[in-house]
Structure 1
Amino acid sequence: MDGKKGIHPSVGVGILSVLLIFIFLFMLINASTLRAALHDSTENYALDMSSQLAGDISSRMKAVQMEMKLMADSISMVSGTDKELAEFIERKSEISGFDAMAFLGADGRAVPADFSFSMFQEGIDASFRGEMRVTAYTEGQNVLYTVPVYKNNQITGVLAGLRNKANMQALIQPTSFEGRGLTCIVDSDGKVIISPTDIKPFLTLDTVFHESGKSEASRAVMEMKEDLENRKEGVFRFMAVSGEELFLSYHALTVNDWTLLTLIPADLISGRAEKYIFYSFLIIGFIVVIFGLFIFAVSRFYAKSRRRLEQIAYVDSVTGGRNNAAFREAYMKLTEAEPPPFTIVLFNIKNFKLINENFGTEQGDKTLRYVYETLSGMLKPGEIVARSSADNFFLCLKEHSREVISARLEEMTKELNRFSKLIETPYHLTVLKGAYIVEDLSLDITIIQDRARIAYQSRLDGENTDCAFYDAAYTERMKEEQELEQAFEPSLENHDFTLYLQPKVRLKDGQVGGAEALVRWNHPERGMISPGMFIPLFEQSDKICRLDRYMFEQACVCLERWIKSGNKPIPISVNLSRRHFDDPNFLTWFSETAQRHNIPSGLLEFELTESIFFDNFKINIVKQRIRQMHELGFQCSLDDFGSGYSSLGLVKEFDIDAIKLDRRFFKDIEDQKSRDVIDCLITLSKKLGLTSVAEGIETEEQLSYMQTVGCDLVQGFIFSRPLPVEEFETWWEKKNRGTS
C-alpha cells in the first residue's frame, strides 16, 4: 500500500447512499417547483380563456340587442291586424332563437296576448323610456331582451324577446377547458343570474360569500366582491366541498352589472404531469429500496470477506508469509512506533531459475518457503521479512552498523545453506544483498526499497557476495546512464559516433592483413566517452544493434572509398552483439548494405563473443546464421577465445573462420604453462584451418613468441592503438613503405 490507505468500501457505499438521497430530495424539490409552475400556468390559462369567453358573451348579447332593434324598426313599418303582427313576431322569434317574443303597446295591449311579462316589468318600463335593456328573472333564470319601438319618433311600444335558462346556459357554456370548465353569471351582489348545468360548486361559492370567517378562501371571495363592485377581473384558487381544488376567475360583462364566473380544475394542465411525476417517484422509490437491499448485501458480504481480502492483499501465495504490500504496511507502523535508524535489505537468491529448471517449480516453491521461514527465525522482535517478487526478499533490520548488518546477513546465508548437507543432491544458494540504512523517516518506503535495490544491482556483475550498501554514487551513475541513453539518438543523427581502426599485422611478412572496427563517442559537450561506459549500457537494449549497424555502414563507406581510390583494401572486422540473433532476418540488412556500397565478398568479418554460443536455446539458430553469413560473403571470427569454459567445444561445433586469442593468455608470457597453452591453441587452429589472431600484444617479448609459434595475425599497441580512419590510412601507408 506504499504507506497510504485507500478509501474504505463502506465509505464508498455511504457516499453513494448520500448521493442517491440527494438525488431523491432534488427530485422532490424539482417536482414541487414544477407543480407550482404548472399551477401558475393553469391560473394564467384560466384568466386568459375566461376573459375571452366574457368578451364573447358580452358581444353576443350586444348583437342580440342590435338584432332586436332592427326587428323593432321593422315592426314600426308593419301595418295590419294583431294577427299579422303576431305571425311576423313568431317568424322573427324562430329565426333569432328566442323562446318567446312579443310586442307590448303603449296602450297596454300585448301581441301575442298570452305573453306574461310581470316579472320583467322594470326592464319593460326602461324600454318605454327609450332604453335597450337585458333583464333577468333570477328565480327561473330567464332573460328578457327589450328594445323600444318608434314610429314618427314616438315610442309606440316595446319589443320583448325571452330566452329561458337552458338557452342562456348554452350561451355561457365554455368550449375550452377540455369540457371540465363551468361558468355562471352573477350580479354585483353575488346573486346567480345564469347558472351552469351543475350548480353545486357555485352554491358552495355562494355559501362562502356569506361566511364571515377568516379562511384564505373567504379572504379571496371578499377581495373578489370588491373587484366586482369596481368592475375588475381576477382569479383565485379554493377547495370545493367535494375536496377538489378549483380555480375561479371573474370578468365583468358589458351588460348591466353582471360578472362572468368561470370554474376550472386546478389540475387541468398539471394533471398528466403529476401522474408522470408520481410514477417517477415510484420508480425512484423502487430504486432506493433495491439499492438499500444491495447496500445491505454488500455490507454483509464485505463483513464476511474482509479477512479473506486482507489475506489476499497481504499474504504471499508461495511462502504463506508477508508480501511486499504487507512489508510496507508493517514498516510504516514500525517507524511510527520506534525511532530510526533502520536498515532495509534486498535479499536475492542468485540464479534461482536454475533450481526450477533442474528440480522443478514445486521444489523451487519449497525452497522459497524454506528461505522465508529461515530468515523469519533469525529476526529480532519487531524486525520484518517479506517476499516481494520471484526470488527477492526484503528485510527490515533494527541495525545501523555496517559491520553488524554484514555479519548478520552472512550468518543468515550460512544458515540457509545448512540444508545442503541433508539432501541427496546438494546445491548451494548464492545470495546477493543490497542494503540502505534509513535515517530520514520522511523518505517514502518505495524510494527506500529502490535504494536497497540499486545497491544490490551493483553486485550483479561481480562475484563478490558481500552486502553492498547504498551510496549516492550509485544514483549518480544511474543518472549518468540515463543521460547517455538520452544522448544516443541525437549523437547517432549528428555522427558523434566515429569509426576507429586498429590494424591486424601478418607476422609472416609484416604487412597489414586487416583491421578491427571500433567505435568512439566524441560528444560535443561531454567530450570523448569511454566505450566501457556506453557499450555495456547499450547492450541492455536494442540500441547496441542500431550502433552495430551504424558502425557496419561506416566500415562499408571506408572500404568503398578505398576501392574507388584504387588502393587494395584490407578486410575489416566489425563486432556483432548477441541481441541481433533475436531477429531471424537480421542479416538481410547487413547484406543489402554491403551490396549498396559494392563491397566484394571476404572483406567484411563479424566478430562474435563467446557469450553468444553459451545460450543452449540458440545453438541451432547461431549455427544457421553463421552458415548464412558465409553464403552472403561474410567472414566470421570468435572473439575473446579462451575467456570462457567451452572454447574448444565451440571450435568443433561452429563453422568459424578465425579465433582471436584472449589478451589474458599473454600477460604471463614468460610462464612456461602459458606458452604451452598458446602453442597448443595455435597448433589447433592450423589443424582446423582457422586464422589465429592474437589481440592485446604490447611487448617485444610477446610479439617474438607469437612469431615463434606461427601466429597468423597480431593486434595490439605493439603496432598501433585504434586510430581514426585518416590517421590509420597514414599509418598504413608508412607501414607498407617500411616493409616493402
Structure 2
Amino acid sequence: MLGFTQLVLCDVEGEGICTDASTHNFSGLPGFEASAAGERGVSFLENQRILYTVPIVYEGSIFGVLAGERDKANMQALIATDGFDGNSVSCIIDRDSNVVISPTNLDFFFALDDLFVANKDPELASAVREMQANMQANVSGVIVFTTPDGVDVIMSYDPLETFDWVLLTILPADIISHDTDAYIQHTFRLSTAVIVLFSLILAVMCGIYYSHRRQLEHIAFVDPVTGGMNNARFQYSCRRVLDGAKPGAFTVVSLNLMDYRLINEIFGPKEGNDTLRHVMQVLGRHIRPDEAAARGEAGHFFLCLHEHREDAVIARLGEIRADVNAFNAQRETPYYLTLLAGAYLVQEPGLDITVMQDRADAARKSKPAENGRCAFYDAGITARMHLEKELVNLLDSSLANRDFKVYYQPKVRLRDGQVASAEALVRWQHPQKGFIYPSDFIPVFERSGDICRLDLYVFEEVCAMLAGRLAQGAPVFPVAVNLSRRHFQTTDFLQRFADIRDQYQIPGGLIELELTESIFFTVGDILNVKEAIRRMHELGFLCSLDDFGAGFSSLGLLKSFMVDSVKLDRSFFLDDSQRAHDVVESIVELARKLGIETVAEGIEAPEQVDFLRSIGCDLVQGYVYARPMPAEELEAWMRARHGGEVTQI
C-alpha cells in the first residue's frame, strides 16, 4: 500500500475507514485539518506512528481526505538490517540518549540497563561519558565492553545530520572476532555502507518530515489572515516571559475592533481582512522584544505588555490608537477605527494564560470604555461574573417552579380612553434570592442565549392567560410579547411559537410579537427579519417595533417593513423642547400615512398625554395610567377604570 501500514479514506468531518475495515475519527489532528482546508498535512500519533494526509478534490471542491499511516513496526523495518546473521540490533536515539525509534528486539537493551545504571566499571563509565560528549559534538565512535553475563559487545554510534539523531547499533563481538581480521574489515566496510545507505534514506525522510513540520508549525502558530502571531503562539510566548516574572510586571490587554462586522458588511471581506492586517502591523510596531501581540478571532486582538502601571498602559494604547488611524491623514473623508480595550495587571504570573485573557475580556465588556482608554480588571468584575453565573444556574429550577411571573402593562387608546391592549413583562420572584430586577437578569440571559427559553415561557404564560379568559367567556385583549434577537439565529423559530399558540387554541390577531430596533444590525439581518415579519403575519401574529428612534435607521425600516405598530422610545419624551416635539409629531404623521399604529411608552405626565393626543398618537403606555401588574390586578384595574364593567376590546 505505497509503503504505508494502512490507508484511510476520510470525509470532511473526519470520519474515516481504514484498509483494515476499522473506522476512526481524525478531526482535530493538525494534519487532517490542514488537508480539509486544501493543504498537505502530517500528524504524529502515539506509539511512534506518523500519519500523512492529502485533500481529495472533485470539481473544485474538497469532499474528503486520503491518509497513509506508518506505524512503529513499519519504521523499525526501515532501520532493521539482516547483517551479522540477524544478531545485530539497531535503533535511533537523540543526542540526549532518548529513544526516537526503538528496536524490534528489546531484550538485549534491557540486559545492558543494569550495567550502565550501576556504573560499577570505571573504564566503561568513562567510555560512556566520552560517547555522550562525541554525540553532542557530532562525532561517531565505537565502545567495546562485556555484559554482566560475560558477552563481549560492540556498540557503534553514528550521529545523523537531521534532527540531532544518532544511529545506535549493538552486536556481539564474537561474530566478528571468530573470523580473520580481513573478515572483520570486510564486515565493517559492509556495515558502514549499510549505515551510509540508511543515512541517505533517513536524510530524505527527515527532509520530508522537516518540511511537513515547518508547515505544521506555520499552521499551528501563524494567523492565516494577518500573517502574525495567532492565539496559540501568544499563549506560548506569554508563558515563557511570565514564568519567573514578578507579580505586576506585565499586563495582558484585550482589544476589540469595534464594528468589524459592519466593515465586512459594508466594504466586503477583502477590505475587512486588509483592516485586520493593518491593525496587526501597527501592534507589531508598538511591542518590544519581550512583549507579544496576536489576533484572537474576528476583530479581537491580545497584547502582553511589559508594563505595571495603569497610566503607562493607557498611554501606550493611546499611541497605538493614533497609529491605527494615522492613514486618515491622507484621506479626504476620514474613517476612524475604534479599539475598545480591557486589561489585567498580572498579579498571579502562574495563572493559566487563558484565565488572564478572560479577565482582560471581562474588563473590556464590563463597562463602556472610551476609545483609546482602557477598563482594568478588578475583583468586582469577578463578583459580577459569579453573580451572572449564579443567575444562569438558577434559571432551570425557576422555570420549573414558575418563579417567573408575567405582569401586564395596559396601553390606553387616546381617542376614547379605552384600554386597547397590553404588554407582557416578566418579573423574577425567587424564593431565596427575593425579587430580581429585569435589568439584572435580562442582559445576562441575552449573553448566555437562555433568553430564548425565557421568551417561550412568557409566551406560553400569556397563551394560558388568554385561553383561561376565553374559556370563562371573559373579554380578551391583544397582548404584546417581547422577542429577543437571539431567536433569529434559529431557522423558522416562529413555528415553535405558533405551535404553542395553537395548543392553547388562541385565535389569530390576539398576540403581538415585539421586536427591538437593535435587531436590525446588518444588511443580512435586515433581510432575515423582513422575511420573519412576513412569516409572522402568515402565522396570524401581529408585529410591532419597540424602542423606535433609539437607533439611526428607523425611517428606512418603516419604508421596508410591514410592521403593525411602532413604539416611540421613551428618550423622545425626556426632552421637552420644541425640536423634540416636532420630531415626534413628524414620526406620528409619517406612521399614520403608512397605516402604522403609534404607541408612546414611558409616559408619566398628563402634559405629555395632552401633547400626544393633540398630534394624533394612537396609544399611550406608562405610569401616567398604570404600572405593570399581574393579570388579576389588571382585571380589577380595568373594572375600576370602566365603571365596574370590562368590555371586549
Q: TM-score range by the shorter chain?
A: 0.5 to 0.7
The partner residue of 1:399 within 291, 295, 307 is: 307
Instruction: Please state whether the residue corresponding to 1:432 is helix, strand or coil.
Output: strand
Residue 408 of structure 1 aligns with an amino acid whose one-letter code is R
- Aligned residue number for residue 350 of structure 1: 258
Report whether the alignment pairs 1:538 with 2:445: yes
Instruction: Please state whether the residue corresponding to 1:556 is helix, strand or coil.
Output: helix
- Aligned residue number for residue 239 of structure 2: 332
Report whether the alignment pairs 1:705 with 2:611: yes
Superposition pairs of residues 48-63 of structure 1, within 5 angstroms: none
Instruction: Please state whether the residue corresponding to 2:642 is helix, strand or coil.
Output: helix
The partner residue of 1:435 within 343, 349, 353 is: 343
- Aligned residue number for residue 582 of structure 2: 676
Report whether the alignment pairs 1:22 with 2:142: no
Using the TM superposition, give the Cα deviation of residue 357 of structure 1 relative to its aligned residue in structure 2, in angstroms.
Answer: 4.5
- For residues 288-315 of structure 1, the C-alpha deviation after alignment (integer angstroms, 9 at most, x for no partner) is 9999998776666556776665555444
Say whether the 8 Å CA contact 1:452–1:469 is kept in structure 2.
yes
Superposition pairs of residues 498-577 of structure 1, within 5 angstroms: 498-540=405-447, 542-577=449-484
Q: State the distance in 2 between where 1:684 and 1:349 align.
A: 37
**Alpha carbons of structure 1 residues 407 and 491: separation in structure 2 relative to 1, 3 Å:** same
Report whether the alignment pairs 1:449 with 2:533: no
- Aligned residue number for residue 648 of structure 1: 555
Instruction: Please state whether the residue corresponding to 2:643 is helix, strand or coil.
Output: helix
**Alpha carbons of structure 1 residues 545 and 294: separation in structure 2 relative to 1, 3 Å:** farther
Say whether the 8 Å CA contact 2:317–2:372 is kept in structure 1.
no
- Aligned residue number for residue 496 of structure 1: 403
Say whether the 8 Å CA contact 2:265–2:522 is kept in structure 1.
no
Q: State the distance in 1 between where 2:46 and 2:622 align.
A: 67
Say whether the 8 Å CA contact 1:510–1:739 is kept in structure 2.
no
Using the TM superposition, give the Cα deviation of residue 637 of structure 1 relative to its aligned residue in structure 2, in angstroms.
Answer: 1.5
Report whether the alignment pairs 1:694 with 2:600: yes
Residue 405 of structure 1 aligns with an amino acid whose one-letter code is V
Q: State the distance in 1 between where 2:585 and 2:539 align.
A: 33
Instruction: Please state whether the residue corresponding to 1:551 is helix, strand or coil.
Output: helix
Q: State the distance in 2 between where 1:492 and 1:714 align.
A: 31
Report whether the alignment pairs 1:414 with 2:322: yes
Instruction: Please state whether the residue corresponding to 2:474 is helix, strand or coil.
Output: coil
Say whether the 8 Å CA contact 1:515–1:573 is kept in structure 2.
yes
- Aligned residue number for residue 642 of structure 2: 736
**Alpha carbons of structure 1 residues 478 and 681: separation in structure 2 relative to 1, 3 Å:** same
Say whether the 8 Å CA contact 2:413–2:619 is kept in structure 1.
yes
The partner residue of 2:627 within 721, 727, 731 is: 721
**Alpha carbons of structure 1 residues 569 and 404: separation in structure 2 relative to 1, 3 Å:** same
Using the TM superposition, give the Cα deviation of residue 517 of structure 1 relative to its aligned residue in structure 2, in angstroms.
Answer: 0.6
- Aligned residue number for residue 229 of structure 2: 322
Q: State the distance in 1 between where 2:301 and 2:236 align.
A: 15
Q: State the distance in 1 between where 2:609 and 2:578 align.
A: 16
More helix by share: 1
**Alpha carbons of structure 1 residues 739 and 592: separation in structure 2 relative to 1, 3 Å:** closer
Once the two structures are overlaid, the 10-residue window that deviates more, 544-553 or 515-524, is 544-553
Using the TM superposition, give the Cα deviation of residue 675 of structure 1 relative to its aligned residue in structure 2, in angstroms.
Answer: 1.5
Using the TM superposition, give the Cα deviation of residue 593 of structure 1 relative to its aligned residue in structure 2, in angstroms.
Answer: 2.9
Q: State the distance in 2 between where 1:499 and 1:466 align.
A: 41
Say whether the 8 Å CA contact 1:346–1:392 is kept in structure 2.
yes
Q: State the distance in 2 between where 1:659 and 1:397 align.
A: 49
Q: State the distance in 2 between where 1:722 and 1:473 align.
A: 32
Report whether the alignment pairs 1:370 with 2:454: no
Q: State the distance in 2 between where 1:369 and 1:624 align.
A: 36
Instruction: Please state whether the residue corresponding to 1:502 is helix, strand or coil.
Output: strand
Superposition pairs of residues 605-616 of structure 1, within 5 angstroms: 605-616=512-523
Report whether the alignment pairs 1:657 with 2:532: no
Q: State the distance in 2 between where 1:425 and 1:616 align.
A: 23
Normalised by the size of structure 2, how large is the TM-score? 0.65
Q: State the distance in 2 between where 1:705 and 1:310 align.
A: 69
Say whether the 8 Å CA contact 1:511–1:739 is kept in structure 2.
no
Say whether the 8 Å CA contact 2:340–2:369 is kept in structure 1.
no
Which sections of structure 2, spanning at least 5 residues, go unmatched?
1-44, 49-92, 113-194
Using the TM superposition, give the Cα deviation of residue 406 of structure 1 relative to its aligned residue in structure 2, in angstroms.
Answer: 0.7
Say whether the 8 Å CA contact 1:323–1:388 is kept in structure 2.
yes
Say whether the 8 Å CA contact 1:13–1:295 is kept in structure 2.
no
Residue 612 of structure 2 aligns with an amino acid whose one-letter code is M
Using the TM superposition, give the Cα deviation of residue 383 of structure 1 relative to its aligned residue in structure 2, in angstroms.
Answer: 3.0
- Aligned residue number for residue 502 of structure 2: 595
User: How many aligned residue pairs are there?
Assistant: 474
**Alpha carbons of structure 1 residues 570 and 637: separation in structure 2 relative to 1, 3 Å:** same
Say whether the 8 Å CA contact 1:506–1:512 is kept in structure 2.
yes
**Alpha carbons of structure 1 residues 14 and 303: separation in structure 2 relative to 1, 3 Å:** farther
Using the TM superposition, give the Cα deviation of residue 470 of structure 1 relative to its aligned residue in structure 2, in angstroms.
Answer: 0.9
Q: State the distance in 1 between where 2:253 and 2:399 align.
A: 40
- For residues 87-133 of structure 1, the C-alpha deviation after alignment (integer angstroms, 9 at most, x for no partner) is xxxxxxxxxxxxxxxxxxxxxxxxxxxxxxxxxxxxxxxxxxxxxxx
Say whether the 8 Å CA contact 2:536–2:542 is kept in structure 1.
yes
Q: State the distance in 1 between where 2:375 and 2:584 align.
A: 38
Say whether the 8 Å CA contact 1:502–1:516 is kept in structure 2.
yes
Q: State the distance in 1 between where 2:613 and 2:325 align.
A: 51
Q: State the distance in 2 between where 1:365 and 1:634 align.
A: 41
- Aligned residue number for residue 394 of structure 2: 487
Instruction: Please state whether the residue corresponding to 2:400 is helix, strand or coil.
Output: helix
Say whether the 8 Å CA contact 2:296–2:302 is kept in structure 1.
yes
Using the TM superposition, give the Cα deviation of residue 646 of structure 1 relative to its aligned residue in structure 2, in angstroms.
Answer: 1.9
Using the TM superposition, give the Cα deviation of residue 552 of structure 1 relative to its aligned residue in structure 2, in angstroms.
Answer: 1.5
Say whether the 8 Å CA contact 2:314–2:372 is kept in structure 1.
no
**Alpha carbons of structure 1 residues 628 and 375: separation in structure 2 relative to 1, 3 Å:** closer
**Alpha carbons of structure 1 residues 369 and 568: separation in structure 2 relative to 1, 3 Å:** closer
Using the TM superposition, give the Cα deviation of residue 710 of structure 1 relative to its aligned residue in structure 2, in angstroms.
Answer: 2.7
Q: State the distance in 2 between where 1:337 and 1:589 align.
A: 56
Q: State the distance in 2 between where 1:301 and 1:517 align.
A: 67
Say whether the 8 Å CA contact 2:369–2:375 is kept in structure 1.
no
- For residues 158-196 of structure 1, the C-alpha deviation after alignment (integer angstroms, 9 at most, x for no partner) is xxxxxxxxxxxxxxxxxxxxxxxxxxxxxxxxxxxxxxx
**Alpha carbons of structure 1 residues 544 and 298: separation in structure 2 relative to 1, 3 Å:** same
Say whether the 8 Å CA contact 2:467–2:506 is kept in structure 1.
yes
Instruction: Please state whether the residue corresponding to 1:737 is helix, strand or coil.
Output: coil
Instruction: Please state whether the residue corresponding to 1:487 is helix, strand or coil.
Output: helix
Q: State the distance in 2 between where 1:674 and 1:19 align.
A: 87
**Alpha carbons of structure 1 residues 290 and 716: separation in structure 2 relative to 1, 3 Å:** farther
- For residues 434-489 of structure 1, the C-alpha deviation after alignment (integer angstroms, 9 at most, x for no partner) is 11111332223232222112222335x66655211112222222222222222222
Say whether the 8 Å CA contact 1:498–1:520 is kept in structure 2.
yes
Q: State the distance in 2 between where 1:650 and 1:675 align.
A: 21
Residue 523 of structure 2 aligns with an amino acid whose one-letter code is N
Q: State the distance in 2 between where 1:626 and 1:356 align.
A: 26
Instruction: Please state whether the residue corresponding to 1:456 is helix, strand or coil.
Output: helix
Instruction: Please state whether the residue corresponding to 1:637 is helix, strand or coil.
Output: strand
**Alpha carbons of structure 1 residues 380 and 589: separation in structure 2 relative to 1, 3 Å:** closer
State which structure, 1 or 2, has the greater radius of gyration over its C-alpha atoms: 1
Residue 500 of structure 1 aligns with an amino acid whose one-letter code is Y
- For residues 466-521 of structure 1, the C-alpha deviation after alignment (integer angstroms, 9 at most, x for no partner) is 21111222222222222222222221121111111111112233222211111112
Residue 437 of structure 2 aligns with an amino acid whose one-letter code is S
Using the TM superposition, give the Cα deviation of residue 390 of structure 1 relative to its aligned residue in structure 2, in angstroms.
Answer: 3.8
Identity of aligned residues (%): 48
**Alpha carbons of structure 1 residues 351 and 509: separation in structure 2 relative to 1, 3 Å:** closer
